[in-house]
């Protein structure tokens, strides 16, 4: 039986993963965490055990590699779940380690090129080959290449760095002047800066410069959404597509209010992506439903649990955590390509909607997802 889960987290201030243990515990899992001492994840009461490490000045020092190895050897989890992109990067690096490599590889997507999971441009290119609708995307190396490529897409367009999460590394620019300002840091780099980057790559869990690419993406005018799902070896157990009704901070930021959406095209995209990546674990597709045509465009993959993954079936169509437990333990068959289950919902996310607008009507007129059964975590989220 698959029962013991170890969540590995490196991002200290990332709030999204802190709610996952509650959902996993409700589903029947025993949940453990390897996480920064001051992280929100460390504060939840739904952990069976926690291995915490001090962050000093930088949480992503490769010293955490040793901690991850020892945690896996000590706990012998049935599954390892990356809590953020940095954790996934670390786990990918440790997948070759003899004593724990098999456990890590069986817990992560099995696609032959793991960099596709973290590279926005590579992922979009693969989706196009798999028949999933995506915006036009042009990879560039510097400002000059970007200025040459921009007319092929037209303004506005989206500037995207390959590696990033929580809206980092994404910017919409409306003219050439904004594009130049956005990419000013890609111009000639000094020798000192290059040396610093080499040292940073050696000592910290970061993508190499040649893996953290840059691309320009066609701007699609429409409603942005996310489609959280869970799967094993490419077979999808459940999915909960939803639209980002409100976001914070800014238009490209994380969700603060979400509403359910019934979209067969997105459902099929989830099945296609999961199958081709031989996906295992939690993930989420970001997409845009174009305003004029109603067509759905997949724009990127979040290869880890997102902040809405803990929702139960009283809130939305499917309980992803319960479905993951049942699916891993062969208690029901994965999704087929039929119509997705759907339930209409509007949910204000805590604490993001309160941060966006303390007087927001969604805090009282829709379901406000406050972790009232997790008092220490609730106070920590509300305080920061």
pLDDT band of 183, cuts 50, 70, 90: confident
pLDDT at residue 346 greater than cutoff 70: yes
Average pLDDT, the chain: 88
Is the predicted pLDDT of residue 339 greater than 50, yes or no? no
Query: How does pLDDT run across 265-312, given as a tens digit for each residue?
Result: 999 999 999 999 999 999 999 999 999 999 999 999 999 999 999 999
* Overall average pLDDT of the 77-105 stretch: 93
Residue 240 · residue 285 · CB < 8 Å: no
DSSP state for residue 61 in the 8-state scheme: B
Contact 160, 169 (CB under 8 A): yes
Numbers of helices and strands, H then E, in the chain:
13, 16
pTM for this predicted structure: 0.89
Percent of the chain with pLDDT over 90: 68
Q: How far is CA 171 from CA 168, 181, 217, 244, 246, in A?
A: 8, 11, 10, 17, 17
- Per-residue pLDDT tens over the stretch 19-60: 999 999 999 999 999 999 999 999 999 999 999 998 754 456
Domains of the chain, with CATH numbers?
A: 4-108 (3.40.50.720), 136-217 (3.30.1490.20), 220-383 (3.30.470.20)
Strand, helix or coil for residue 236: strand
């Amino acid at each position: 039986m698959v029962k013991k889960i170890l969540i590995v987290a490196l991002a200290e201030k990332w709030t999204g993963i802190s709610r996952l243990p509650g959902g996993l515990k409700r589903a029947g899992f025993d949940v453990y965490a390897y996480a920064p001492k001051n992280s929100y994840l460390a504060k939840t009461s739904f952990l069976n055990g926690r291995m915490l490490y001090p962050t000093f000045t930088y949480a992503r020092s490769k010293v955490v590699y040793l901690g991850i190895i020892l945690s896996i050897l000590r706990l012998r989890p049935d599954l390892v779940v990356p809590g953020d992109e940095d954790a996934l990067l670390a786990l990918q690096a440790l997948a070759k380690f003899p004593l724990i490599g098999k456990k890590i590889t069986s817990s992560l997507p099995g696609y032959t090129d793991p960099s596709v999971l973290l590279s926005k441009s590579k992922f979009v290119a693969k989706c196009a080959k798999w028949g999933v609708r995506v915006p036009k995307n042009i990879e560039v190396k510097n400002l000059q290449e970007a200025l040459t490529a921009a007319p092929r897409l037209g303004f506005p367009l989206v500037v995207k760095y390959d590696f990033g999460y929580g809206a980092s590394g994404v910017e919409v620019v409306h003219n050439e002047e904004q594009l130049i300002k956005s990419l000013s840091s890609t111009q000639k780099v000094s020798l000192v800066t290059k040396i610093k980057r080499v040292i940073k790559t050696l000592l910290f869990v970061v993508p190499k410069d040649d893996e953290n690419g840059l691309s320009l993406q066609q701007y699609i005018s429409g409603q942005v959404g996310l489609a959280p799902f869970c799967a094993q070896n490419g077979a999808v157990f459940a999915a909960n597509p939803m639209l980002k009704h409100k976001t914070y901070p800014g238009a490209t930021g994380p969700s603060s209010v979400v509403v359910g959406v019934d979209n067969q095209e997105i459902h099929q995209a989830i099945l296609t992506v999961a199958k081709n990546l031989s996906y295992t674990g939690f993930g989420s597709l970001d997409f845009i439903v174009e305003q004029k045509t109603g067509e759905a465009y997949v724009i990127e993959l979040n290869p880890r649990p997102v902040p809405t993954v803990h929702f139960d079936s009283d809130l939305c169509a499917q309980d992803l955590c319960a479905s993951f437990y049942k699916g891993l333990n062969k208690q029901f068959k994965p999704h087929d390509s039929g119509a997705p289950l759907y339930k209409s919902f509007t949910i204000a996310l805590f604490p993001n909607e309160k941060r966006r607008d303390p007087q927001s009507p969604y805090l009282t007129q829709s379901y406000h997802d406050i972790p009232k059964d997790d008092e220490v975590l609730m106070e920590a989220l509300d305080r920061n």
